[in-house]
Chains A and B, each alone.
Chain A
Amino acid sequence: MRAAVPPINRPWYMRLFFALPDRMLGVLDPNSHSYDDLWRAAGLHAAVPHLESLELESQTTAVAELRATYALRSPTPARSSRTLALHELRIRVHADGEVELLNEACVPVAVPSLPRVGLLLGLPARLERCRWFGLGPHENYVDRQRGATLAVHSAAVDELFTPYLVPGECGHRGGLRWLEVSDAVGAGVRVSGAGGPLGFSLLRHARPPLPLPNPTGKPLTLRPLLFASVFRHARPCPPSLAAAGIVRRSSTAQRTRTSSSPTPIGCG
């Protein structure tokens, strides 16, 4: 027979302390910097793409391929010489309307982590419905995917926004096989990964993405911006780039491909 144990065997007293979470420890440390500090110091928050080159690589009656190279730099003149990222985009257009976007990026900014690396696609405001085969229905980042279900989900674009008390990054959904964004009559764009699952967020932003003063007084049309985490494979930056002195230390360099179809998605 077990001995009786009193349910409360310690005296009650007032507590003024609790185990500090890491964010509290961070606030108490005056000599360290946050991820946000480092990202902004590196200029990632204001990187602007500059076209370096654009060439027609090949052309037949069935497919044509353009090769564009962009350099992401800070818009600040003092920092404008800094190359924050190199992006090579191959735009392969097929005669049936399919577009393949093959991406390769090198981010030579040596920070412990990057906020994100992916492809941003601006969509017109009339595309207000989306349907995706991936994890959902709620937002799911890598640490929140166990509770998500892999299925075909559908939602309005406005429903993909999570209204946190402090606005910040939100709405990402992983495990994406394909995504259709359509207007009221069902026409739109379909995005799918060619080599494996993607991740995406689809949120409405004013154009440009960061809110600016609106001198016209007219209500701004919030356009959905589709972010697709198309990069999956990390490897060192190409030796040619390193030899050119552009890259001394690379944090990530990835390659993948994404295809988007502009055909009416009702027939897909």
Chain B
Amino acid sequence: MFEVRHVFRPVHAIFVAWRRDGADSAANAPANAPDSAADAAVPLRALVRITNRHETLTLSHLRLFAVLEADGAPLARMPPRHLGAEERGTRWRSLHTSLHSLAQLQPRESLTVELPLEFDAATAAAAAAAAFATPPRDVRLSVVFALALPNAWGEAGHEVVREQFKVPPPPPGAGPDPGAAAAPARLEVGAAAATVALRVEQSAQCFVLSGVGTGGVPFSYRVCRRSGALALRVRGALVVEEASGLQVWRAPTDNDRANTLFSISRPTADSIAQMCAAAHDSSHLTSLMVPYAAPVCSARRSGLCASLCSMR
């Protein structure tokens, strides 16, 4: 249902750009938008264009919040705000109008707003420091609209729209000082210097590679010489069993069963005859190009063609 909800989402949002507090932001702000002390405290703003796709409703029944994540770790967020309850002149300030105007955004109309993102020092300082110290690979901004109040079909807080954008990293200086909160030392696999040498034992049955891993965890990996099966044990317990290897099959779906290739490739009678003739001349039936359709295949002696023709 998630994808259905996304397809039918009543609000569209598109990330436009980052905007920091400063001359540009102030110049674009409406003249009647008050500059409060709280505004100045917000270091980072995301310009987002929002379109109301409702047919009859404004957005006043929704509440809006946003989350900025870097490589999956929360970096900054905008707390949930009930659009209908916000008043003009609060901490919200849009590019062209106020939050009140966003709440009253008419059906099928669009508006570009600034979403203030606050860095949560308690939870995100470490992540932010790490993200700003080394450029994150993947920065995503999520904009979420939820029901502000319960209605006939949903409870308060029911998520109506979730839009996520891959965005460029925030401009330098927008985040907290990387030195202010040192990121916790992440115990990366492979980052710690191994203190015990890797042992490799060979027998007639298997290879056994063992050692002491990160954190002093003993491991033992076994590869069977006869079958090539791989079994990984950590602290003596299996974590990967021997049923491993290349997989080229999956359970078919109804599309696989009922969808024919008729519309994809319809070989002519000549092309099918050529393919079948080539198959009978070849000793490598494994590489036979499987006929997409075999209605006129006259050479049915080969195993592959016979199996196909018998499937009608």
Contact = CB atoms under 8 A, between A and B. Distances in A.
Q: Do A and B come from one complex?
A: yes
Contacts of B134: none
A151 B250 contact: no
A95 B216 CA distance: 11
Contacts of B254: 23, 166, 168
A220 interface: no
Contacts of A222: none
Contacts of A167: 251
A49 B226 CA distance: 12
A164 to B, nearest CB: 8
B49 to A, nearest CB: 18
Contact of A35 (B138, B188, B252): B252
Nearest to B275: A110
B2 A124 contact: no
Interface string A1-33: 000000000000000000000111111011111
A36 B152 CA distance: 45
A39 B250 CA distance: 10
B284 A116 contact: no
B100 interface: no
B244 A66 contact: no
Category for how many chain B residues contact A: 35 or more
A32 B262 contact: yes
B214 A263 contact: yes
Nearest to B288: A110
B265 A112 contact: yes
Interface in A32-72: 32-39, 41-42, 44-47, 49, 51, 54, 56, 59-64, 66, 68, 70, 72
Nearest to B234: A262
B247 A96 contact: no
Interface in B232-254: 232-235, 237-254
Interface in A60-111: 60-64, 66, 68, 70, 72, 78-79, 81-85, 87, 89, 91, 93-99, 103, 105, 107-111
B252 A168 contact: yes
A119 B194 CA distance: 28
Contact of A31 (B71, B226, B251, B293): B293
B286 A35 contact: no
Leading 9 A-B pairs by shortest Cβ distance: A97-B213, A147-B6, A122-B243, A147-B3, A248-B287, A95-B194, A51-B228, A61-B197, A122-B241
17 contacts: A38-B261, A44-B249, A54-B207, A54-B223, A66-B223, A72-B246, A85-B246, A93-B221, A97-B217, A109-B287, A118-B246, A120-B243, A147-B3, A151-B69, A246-B284, A248-B287, A262-B240
